[in-house]
Amino acid sequence: MTNYIFSEEHALISYDISEARKAFDHDRLAYVVAETLEGMPGYSIYSGTGEHLGHLDSRDIAFATAFQYDMHALSVH
């Protein structure tokens, strides 16, 4: 389900993970999703084509990591 969130400064679109895989098939886009892998809660980074790129402790670090690799990160749930 796509959610639209509006504030005075921002308009955000929130995608679920299945929608993100369909919408973001691009090698320069990444998406960040909160999930638990091997019993460790954190945030995973996926490429726009759906490849798992990493699992990090915090959302901010996940976004910074994507940015460091010249990718534009989007948050999905």
User: Quick one: residue 56, left, alpha or beta (phi over 0 = left, psi -120 to 50 = alpha)?
Assistant: beta
Residue 13, beta-bridge partner list: 4
Give the DSSP H/E element, type plus range, for residue 46.
strand 40-47
pLDDT of 12 strictly over 70:
no
Average pLDDT, the chain: 77
Q: Which 3 state secondary structure label does DSSP give 61?
A: helix
Task: Provide mean pLDDT across the span 18-38.
Answer: 77
pLDDT of 23 strictly over 90:
no
**Position with higher pLDDT, 56 vs 75:** 56
